[in-house]
Amino acid sequence: MKILVTGGAGYIGGTVAGLLAETGNQAVVFDNLSHGRRDQLPPGVEFVEGELADRAALEDLFISAKNQGRPFDGVLHFAALIEAGESMVHPEQFFRNNTASTLSLLEAMLAHGPRRLVFSSTAAVYGEPESAPIPEDARLLPTNAYGESKLLVEHMLTWLNRIHGLRYASLRYFNVAGAPEGPQGITRGEAHAPETHIIPLVLDVALGRRKSINIYGNDYPTPDGTCVRDYIHVSDLADAHLLALAALEKHDRLIYNLGNGQGFSVLQVIEAARRVTGHPIPAEIHPRRPGDPAVLVASSRKAIRELGWKPRYNDLDDMIRTAWVWHQKRYAE
């Protein structure tokens, strides 16, 4: 297949583009490099720099592929702002970038094809869940603008499927972790600028790049008072994307949660990082951040049952181990 990967120079998008290449598919990455990095791109993957809001550029890309006799077979859409905390400071940026810019992509797809999209959604669409683990039919009530910006895209996709026959899979991720272990070992991983995710931040402390890790809130209604999250390895996530894309050949609308079904608190993540790295990793308590739910844990039974998805990384220590290998390599270069 020939697949367009928006945001493919990022952590998750780059991993999926790499898997496409490894499985004999052609990946074309479209990214503005505002958060992505060229060194996240696997060898042999074509790169086009551009803005998702630029509908004309997207249309040119689709038309050019057609004219060359190799039209795109589908789109994997990762391009987005992802910092939930920042979305509660500048929500307008998230609605412009995540929601309005996605509409430009969808309009270009409707005008020139293809008609298959796998959308990178989020567990944040659920907000504060009524129970855990969370099934796909749970109430959708985001508590931050990031989750709302993604939910609005899901609403758009529902209508475009109903009216125009656009086939889509919406994959609602939980916290993504780890680094892909490929034929050449671990050569890429999580590298945001600025970094906001807990595992790379904790590993920065272990490397001496930070003095301590901040814990935002220790008074949540959880066993140790800190937020509980579900962690999924980035390679397992990549596998699910290719399975969902293939499933769209027979189905026109799919929605799946992707996680490991286990919840780990912030303190448990820090303890796991201490075990893996052998470093003490000091921690400091700070007030809660607006919009952070207490518990987000997935039920991924539907994806396992319907897609035949088989996650390989279920142990938190193992996920952190792969991230630790990448982190050490990253700063040794």
Q: Is 195 exposed, middle or buried (0-12, 13-18, 19+ CB in 10 A)?
A: middle
CB 145 within 8 A of CB 91: yes
Residues 12 and 36 in one domain: yes
Of the residues 239, 258, 277, the one at which a domain ends: 258
- Judge whether residue 85 has pLDDT over 90: no
- Judge whether residue 332 has pLDDT over 80: no
Residues 104 and 168 in one domain: yes
Residue type, 248: L
Phi, psi of 216 (to 5 degrees): -95, 90
Average per-residue pLDDT in the chain?
Answer: 94
Share of the chain above pLDDT 70, in %: 100
Residues 248 and 148 in one domain: yes
- Judge whether residue 185 has pLDDT over 90: no
Q: What is the pLDDT of residue 244?
A: 98
- Judge whether residue 191 has pLDDT over 90: no
Q: Which residues contact 308 (CB under 8 A, 6 or more apart)?
A: 243
Residues 100 and 215 in one domain: no
- Judge whether residue 184 has pLDDT over 80: no
Task: Please report, for the domain that includes residue 209, its CATH number.
Answer: 3.90.25.10
Which candidate, 151, 65, 76, 166, places its Cα nearest to that of 115?
166
Rounded to whole angstroms, how far apart are CA atoms 327 and 172? 26
Range with the poorest average pLDDT among 35-39, 78-82, 224-228, 304-308:
35-39
pLDDT digits (tens, 9 = 90+) for 142-159: 999 999 999 999 999 999
Share of the chain above pLDDT 90, in %: 82
**Structure tokens that stand for 297 in this block:** 């844990």
pLDDT digits (tens, 9 = 90+) for 11-68: 999 999 999 999 999 999 999 999 888 877 888 899 999 999 999 999 999 999 999 9
pLDDT digits (tens, 9 = 90+) for 204-258: 999 999 999 999 999 999 999 999 999 999 999 999 999 999 999 999 999 999 9
* 79: in domain: yes
Rounded to whole angstroms, how far apart are CA atoms 65 and 46? 12
Task: Please report, for the domain that includes residue 239, its CATH number.
Answer: 3.40.50.720
* 192: in domain: no
Residues 205 and 276 in one domain: yes
Residues 107 and 173 in one domain: yes
Which candidate, 267, 266, 270, places its Cα nearest to that of 205?
270
Q: What is the pLDDT of residue 122?
A: 95
Q: What is the pLDDT of residue 67?
A: 94
Residues 39 and 53 in one domain: yes
Locus of tokens 């739910």: 293
Q: What is the pLDDT of residue 130?
A: 86
* 270: in domain: yes
* 288: in domain: yes
CB 259 within 8 A of CB 173: yes
Residue type, 42: P
Active site annotation includes 146: yes
Residue-range definition of the domain harbouring residue 327: 198-229+262-332
Counting the structural domains of the chain, the total is 2
- Judge whether residue 333 has pLDDT over 70: no
Q: What does pTM read for this prediction?
A: 0.93
- From the list 146, 220, 231, 313, the catalytic residue is 146
- Judge whether residue 303 has pLDDT over 70: yes
